[in-house]
């Protein structure tokens, strides 16, 4: 059961207090009027000259029997008038109290909304930051609450200060990864050049050539790792280019290259699916999906399928492949950096565990989503959905 909002609770409290105060006021008024009417309506019957008769204020003479009858009549009139006055007071007072209470509740609703408007502004900013794609995105937003310095403004200013520090922290982290990746590329390129120069010499012995090939393989793995880290860092930043890209063309280019370098059966169903973004990152996204499908496949009779289409107004890229059975609870682990199946860190010749991490980062940078579903026969179906080009 959903609990009422703070605005609703404040309105109920305000209306309840007003109704309670009005009820008490009506009860006090009822008691006072009842006591006042108990003294009569001002009739005064007096005797005259000791005779069994009385004179009215107008001087009219009546006997004792007539006076007693008149007293009873006056008393009955007073009781009826008193009863009618009290009933009218309760009825009309209750109606007036109900009308004023309804007006007070409506006014309390408006006042509560006005008072809670700064909190709604804080909540809206926090919701936009929480819904931003990618870690650290949206932290540039600020509440910048205007108004008097009270508890709510102090809360908003503290929240802004926290966002500023988090924004600087995430920016520093991304710059560090990008700078470190760029700096590590240079020595790796030098090492590769020196090793290639050594093993291509005519007088190089066979042992040296074998050692050089091993070193080149290790160097190549390190270069792929650095490229993956650099791509991951770039995809976490704002897009530098917004170009109309057809996912069908990108997927066809990657599929053609893959078909020449693998023995797997590669099938394509490419329908134009245009989106807007960075073509280099989108090509890397597609390449990572296809490489992941090739790497995690079966040795014999394996296949992979690439499909592009526009589904529900979104440009989609789907890569399906055969392979080992993947438990459903391991899907989220595969999207973590340096992690593979069974929550093991990446090692050996099967990659570094950055492929799907880069895919998710690139998809989020383009305002899209990525979803992986295990096939019952083994393998995965990975679908990337991106906004279509206007």
Length of the chain: 390
Pick the most confident of 66-75, 120-129, 226-235, 249-258: 249-258
To the nearest 10 degrees (0 to 180), the angle between helices 64-130 and 6-37 is 170
Is residue 239's pLDDT more than 60? yes
Lowest mean pLDDT among 47-56, 67-76, 348-357: 47-56
User: Where is mean pLDDT largest: 37-46, 169-178, 256-265, 334-343?
Assistant: 256-265
The strand pairing partners of 60, in sequence order, are none
DSSP for 139-200 reads TT------SSSSHHHHHHHHHHHHHHHHHHHHHHHHHHHHHHHHHHHHHHHHHHHHHHHHHT
Sequence-distant contacts of 328-337: CB under 8 A, at least 24 apart = 328/374, 331/372, 331/373, 331/374, 334/372, 335/359, 335/360, 335/370, 335/372, 337/232
Reading the block at residue 239, the tokens are 């897009």
pLDDT of residue 317: 95
Residue 237 has pLDDT above 70, yes or no: no
Average the pLDDT over 10-26 and give the result.
90
Question: Which of 26-30, 217-221, 232-236, 247-251 shows the lowest mean pLDDT across its residues?
Answer: 232-236
Residue 326 in contact with residue 376, Cβ under 8 Å?
no
Fold of the CATH domain 240-387: Heat Shock Protein 90 (3.30.565)
Query: Over the stretch 89-100, which tens digit does the pLDDT of each residue have?
Result: 888 888 998 999
Assign 290 a pLDDT band (cuts: 50, 70, 90): very high
The reported pLDDT for the residue numbered 268 is 94
State the pLDDT confidence band at 261, using cuts at 50, 70 and 90: confident
- The model's confidence at residue 353, banded by pLDDT at 50, 70 and 90, is low
Q: Which of 171, 185, 98, 103 is nearest to 139 (CA)?
A: 171
Residues 58-68 as b or e (16 or more Cβ within 10 Å = b): eeeebeeeebe
Mean pLDDT, to the nearest integer, of 41-69?
A: 55
Count how many Cα atoms sit within 13 Å of the Cα of residue 154 in the half-sphere of its side chain.
Answer: 3
Among 61-70, 146-155, 241-250, whose mean pLDDT is lowest? 61-70
pLDDT tens, 153-204? 888 888 888 888 888 887 777 777 667 767 777 888 888 888 888 888 888 8
Mention every residue, 6+ apart, whose C-beta is less than 8 A from residue 255.
266, 268, 290, 306
Average pLDDT, the chain: 80
Per residue in 56-84, pLDDT (tens digit) is 555 556 667 776 777 788 778 777 877 88
The pTM (predicted TM-score) of the whole model is 0.52
Distance separating alpha carbons of residues 106 and 18, to the nearest angstrom: 12
Q: How confident is the model at residue 373 (pLDDT cuts 50, 70, 90)?
A: very high
Q: How far is CA 90 from the centre of its chain?
A: 51
Higher local confidence (pLDDT), 364 or 228 = 364
**DSSP secondary structure of 67-102:** HHHHHHHHHHHHHHHHHHHHHHHHHHHHHHHHHHHH
Alpha-carbon Rg for the chain, nearest whole angstrom, is: 43
- Mean pLDDT confidence for 338-349: 50
Report d(CA 334, CA 331) in Å as an integer.
5
In terms of Cβ atoms closer than 10 Å to its own Cβ (0-12, 13-18, 19+), residue 49 is: exposed
232 has a pLDDT exceeding 70: no
Highest-confidence range of 121-130, 257-266, 327-336, 378-387, by mean pLDDT?
378-387
- By mean pLDDT, which of 240-254, 280-294, 337-351 is the weakest? 337-351
Start-end of H helices in the chain: 6-37, 64-130, 151-199, 206-236, 247-261, 279-295, 331-334, 355-365
How crowded is the C-beta side of 283, counted as CA atoms within 13 Å?
A: 11
Whether the CB-CB separation of 93 and 29 falls below 8 Å is answered with yes
Instruction: Output the CATH code of domain 152-232.
Output: 1.10.287
In this predicted structure, the answer to whether residue 21 has a pLDDT above a threshold of 80 is: yes
> 195-215, pLDDT tens digit by residue?
888 888 888 888 888 888 888
Q: Is the pLDDT of residue 106 over 50?
A: yes
Task: Determine phi and psi for 32, rounding to 5 degrees.
Answer: -65, -45
pLDDT at 305 over 60: yes
Whether the predicted pLDDT of 304 surpasses 90:
yes
* Interatomic CA distance for residues 129 and 140, integer angstroms: 9
- Residue ranges per structural domain of the chain: 6-37+70-131, 152-232, 240-387
pLDDT of residue 280: 81
Q: How confident is the model at residue 275 (pLDDT cuts 50, 70, 90)?
A: very high
């Amino acid at each position: 059961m959903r609990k009422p909002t703070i605005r609703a609770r404040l309105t109920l409290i305000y209306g309840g207090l007003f109704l309670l105060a009005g009820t008490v006021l009506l009860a006090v008024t009822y008691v006072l009027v009842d006591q006042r009417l108990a003294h009569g309506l001002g009739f005064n019957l007096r005797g005259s000259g000791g005779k069994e008769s009385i004179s009215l204020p107008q001087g009219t003479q009546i006997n004792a029997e007539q006076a007693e009858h008149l007293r009873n009549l006056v008393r009955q009139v007073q009781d009826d008038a008193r009863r009618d006055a009290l009933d009218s007071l309760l009825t009309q007072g209750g109606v007036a109290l109900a009308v004023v209470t309804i007006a007070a509740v409506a006014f309390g609703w408006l006042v509560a909304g006005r008072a809670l408007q700064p909190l709604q502004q804080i909540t809206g900013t926090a919701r936009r930051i929480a819904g931003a794609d990618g870690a650290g995105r949206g932290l540039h937003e600020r509440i910048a609450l205007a108004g008097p310095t009270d508890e709510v403004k102090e809360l908003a200013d503290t929240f802004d200060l926290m966002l500023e520090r988090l924004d600087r922290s995430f920016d520093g982290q991304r710059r560090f990864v990008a700078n470190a990746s760029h700096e590590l590329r240079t020595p790796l390129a030098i090492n590769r050049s020196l090793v290639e120069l050594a093993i291509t010499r005519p007088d190089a012995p066979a042992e040296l050539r074998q050692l050089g090939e091993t070193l080149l393989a290790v160097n190549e793995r390190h270069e792929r790792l650095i490229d993956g880290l650099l791509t991951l860092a770039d995809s976490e930043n704002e897009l530098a280019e917004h170009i109309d890209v057809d996912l069908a063309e990108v997927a066809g280019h990657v599929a053609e290259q893959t078909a020449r370098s693998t023995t797997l059966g590669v099938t394509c169903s490419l329908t134009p699916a245009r989106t807007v973004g960075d073509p280099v990152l989108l090509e890397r996204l597609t390449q990572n999906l296809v490489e992941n499908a090739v790497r995690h496949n079966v040795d014999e009779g394996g296949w992979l399928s690439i499909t592009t289409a526009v589904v529900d107004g979104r440009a989609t890229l789907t890569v399906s492949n055969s392979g080992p059975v993947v438990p459903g609870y391991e899907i989220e682990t595969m999207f973590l950096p340096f992690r593979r199946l069974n929550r093991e860190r990446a090692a050996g010749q099967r990659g570094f565990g950055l492929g799907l991490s880069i895919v998710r980062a690139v998809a989020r940078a383009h305002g899209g989503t990525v979803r992986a579903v295990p096939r019952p026969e083994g393998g995965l179906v990975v679908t990337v959905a991106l906004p279509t080009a206007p």
